[in-house]
Structures are given as C-alpha cells and as structure tokens.
Structure 1
Amino acid sequence: MADGLRLTCTTCGQANRVPASRLTDSPKCGSCGDPLITGKVAELDATSHDKATRGDDLPLLVDYWAPWCGPCRAMAPEFSRAAQALAPHARLAKLNTEDFPAISQRAGIRGIPALILYHRGKEIARLAGARPAAEIVAFVQSKIPVSAR
C-alpha cells in the first residue's frame, strides 16, 4: 500500500495503515474496531501518546492540560471545534499532565495549556496558552498544509 498512512489507535495503541484516499471513509482500528479519525478530541495515555507522537503520518496536535487549570477547561470546547474543523487531515488529542507527569516533563512542558504539533515522529511547533478554535486551526495550517472544514 504505497499511499498508506500510519495511524495509531488512540484507544488501544495499535498501529494501523490507512490508504490516504480512504481517510474520509471513517477508517477503523484493525485490532479493537474503534474509529481512527472521528473529528473529536482523543484522550491519550502514556502508550498511545508515545506511539502516536513518534510514528503517525497524520499531523497530531496534543493539548497538555490539567483538570485544575481554568484556562485549560475554558479552551476545551474550542479545541473540540478545531478537531472537527481539521478532521480528517489532522487529529487532536489531550494528555492530562497530572496523570502522566513523566511525559509532560520529557516534553518540556513549563506551563499549561500547551499545544504541541507532531508530524511523522517530529515535533513541528508549540503554542502556549488558551486559544479560540480559529487560532488553533490557523496554527496547524501555518505549520503543515492541511485543509479545514
């Protein structure tokens, strides 16, 4: 499959190959059957975070947040709107820094909310602070050529 994109299932952590031409067809994980691209924000754990940020071929924007953070909670609906707008060309996910402090330390998170854009195993860019959906979409589009709905 020459045009296959590698996508990590955010539910089970399984790597999947999806033809680029089938991204809009609601591809499902070959292991657990959950959707790979939903237009919704995925909750990451340590395993799915590491696999997706290190190997996915689709851009992944991760929101590093904590439940006690007011700006993080205020931005959550905006982040969800951005996820809908960017699907299926990019995926958005969240990682709770209180549940996974080692990951936030390894990623060099100094303040939250912090957005890090990953693509093909590399960190592309960072954005600090709560943002409206339009700014989140514009941030992703300015770094990687993706379209939005």
Structure 2
Amino acid sequence: MADPLQVVCPHCDAVNRVPAARLADRPVCGACRKPLFEGRPIALDETGFRRHLRADSLPLLVDFWASWCGPCRAMAPEFEAAAATLEPGMRLAKVSTEEAPALAQELQIRGIPLIALFRDGREVARQAGAMPARQIIAWARQHAG
C-alpha cells in the first residue's frame, strides 16, 4: 500500500489522507472529527459502497445480506467480531441486497450471505455461506494479499 493512504470516513464520507504507519493510532476524520475506525462493520448503500470502492486505499470486505435471511442474521455477530480484528488493515462493510437490489444484480450476488473482498476498485475474491469469525478473518487475510 502506498503512503499515505486514502481512507473514506464511515460517518461523513470525506476522504482522508492517513500515513500507513499511523492507521493503528486511532485516526479521526479531518472533516467531522469522528473516528475513521470503530472496530465494527459499516452499513453502506449503493452510493456509499461505490464511494468506498473508488476512493479508499484499503481492501474492502463486504457482507452482502438481507433481513429475511436466517444464516445472514446468524453470521452478523461473527462478521462484527471479525471487524474488531481486521480493522484498520481493511474496511468491513455490510450491504443489504434488499436495499441495493441493482448493485446485487450488477455484482451477480446469487446467494447470501456472501462476503466479497475488493481491492483497488475491483473484486478479488468471494465466498458464499455463513462463517464463524475466525474463518472470516483467515479467508480475508488469505485473499487480501
């Protein structure tokens, strides 16, 4: 990763420049002064997903889910636990396929829950099915490169 990194604020969507060596120092947004990382996934709509995908230097791990999906609800706390371990090295986000059906169709999301890892604006890996936190962490690290 180049230094400094671009990190999109999960609160106001401002793009911040953060030296890679300072990611673990609890950086705050230059615009809204809120933490750039809180150790939990952020909820993104289609616009927010595209902003993070386009402007953030960090790998983006997305959980595609729906409220009616039992396995999705079962995996939610596991994905949250994974965020506490994986941030700030990557951004974890959740995208509801109910609220962003066009995005789900564009990305050819056929089954949920599905996690997908994006780097440099493109998808690099995906995995369908509910997983425990330790498996999410191992999978993400394996594919983050």
Question: TM-score, structure 1 length as denominator?
Answer: 0.90
The whole-number CA distance in structure 2 between the counterparts of 1:104 and 1:9 is 23
TM-score normalized by structure 2?
Answer: 0.93
Counterpart residue number, 1:33: 33
Q: Distance in 2 between matches of 1:33 and 1:104?
A: 32
Quote the residue 2:85 is aligned against: 85
Deviates more, 1:104-113 or 1:23-32: 23-32
1:103 aligns with 2:96: no
Can you list the C-alpha shifts for 1:71-95, whole angstroms capped at 9, x where unaligned? 0000001001111111221121101
- Contact 1:8–1:48 (8 Å) recurs in 2: no
Any conservation in 2 of the 1:9–1:48 contact (CA below 8 Å)?
Answer: no
Equivalent position of 1:8 in the other structure: 8
SS state at 2:52 partner? helix
- Identity rate, percent: 52
CA distance in 2, matches of 1:50, 1:107: 12
1:43 match? 43
Whether the 8 Å contact between 1:11 and 1:48 is mirrored in structure 2 is no
Contact 2:117 2:144 in 1 (8 A): no
* Consecutive aligned runs of 4 or more in structure 1 exceeding 6 Å deviation: none
Deviations 1:60-114 (A, max 9, x none): 1000111110000000010011111112211211011111111111111111111
> Which residue of structure 1 lines up, in the alignment, with residue 125 of structure 2?
125
> How far apart, in 2, do the equivalents of 1:118 and 1:87 lie?
15
| Preserved CA contact (<8 Å) 1:64 1:96 | yes
* Aligned pairs (5 A) from 1:130-149: 130-145=130-145
Is the Cα contact below 8 Å between 2:82 and 2:136 reproduced in 1? Answer: yes
> Contact 1:13–1:47 (CA<8 Å) still a contact in 2?
no
What's the CA shift string for 1:9-36, capped at 9, x where partnerless?
A: 2222222111111101111222222221
Q: Aligned residue for 1:61?
A: 61
Structure 1 residues 105-140: Cα deviation after superposition (integer angstroms, max 9, x where no partner): 111111111111011212110010110111101111
